[in-house]
Amino acid sequence: MPSATQNPTVRPPRSLWPVSIVIFFIFVVIGLGSLVAVCTMHKEELVRPDYYEQELRHQGRMDQIGRAGALSTRLSIAYDPESRAIQLEFPSAAFGQTTTGQVELYRPSSVSMDRMFKINPNLGRTQVIDASRISSGLWRVRVSWVTEGQTFMVEEKLVIPAMVK
């Protein structure tokens, strides 16, 4: 006769591996679902509506930048925090009375903030652009001009600091 201390229905301990594998795959599915949800909600912006056309014109721009770099004096781009203005000083070697062109203030983070200005320097080949309504932060200043049939381009980064009150 069996004693009361022996229990004939004692089972061996169960392995936790099957449960662990199921829990792992549940986390993988939840993680992938979250990743897909975040990726579909992320706004994809090429920053410029004509991004691909600009890339095709890249070699032409490189030639223009090379011509501007070969000048004896370079185009000077500076920000004056006191007057909150961007000052451009054109080189005399590549500037004549028939010079035309544009100044583009390009904001890499937002296409809606981009600004375009026509080149209109004074007699001293200096142009001042009012930057009081331009947001602080990183800007790329692209100046392209044509004089005597030759095109030139200068591109520089410009940081406009936040106004201190």
Mean pLDDT, the chain, integer: 85
Residue 3 reports pLDDT greater than 70 = no
All domains of the chain in start order, with CATH: 51-160 (2.60.40.3760)
Which of 16-30, 40-54, 65-79, 84-98 is least confident? 40-54
In this prediction, residue 98 carries a pLDDT of 73
Torsion, CA 102, CA 78, CA 127, CA 76, rounded to 10? -80
What is the secondary structure of 53-64 as a DSSP string? HHHHTHHHHHHH
Residues 23-50 have a mean pLDDT of 87
Q: Which residue has the higher pLDDT, 36 or 149?
A: 36
Residue 156: count of CB within 10 angstroms of its CB: 14
The one-letter code for the residue type at 125 is: R
Percentage of the chain lying above the pLDDT 90 cut: 33
pLDDT confidence of residue 133: 87
The residue among 102, 113, 101, 112 whose CA lies nearest residue 139 is: 113
For residue 4, the tally of other CB atoms under 10 A from its CB is: 6
Phi, psi of 61 (to 5 degrees): -65, -40
pLDDT in tens, 91-126: 887 677 678 899 999 988 887 888 999 988 888 888
User: pTM of this prediction?
Assistant: 0.63
At residue 6, the pLDDT reads 64
With vertex at residue 27, the alpha carbon angle to CA 41 and CA 32, rounded to the nearest 5 degrees, is 30
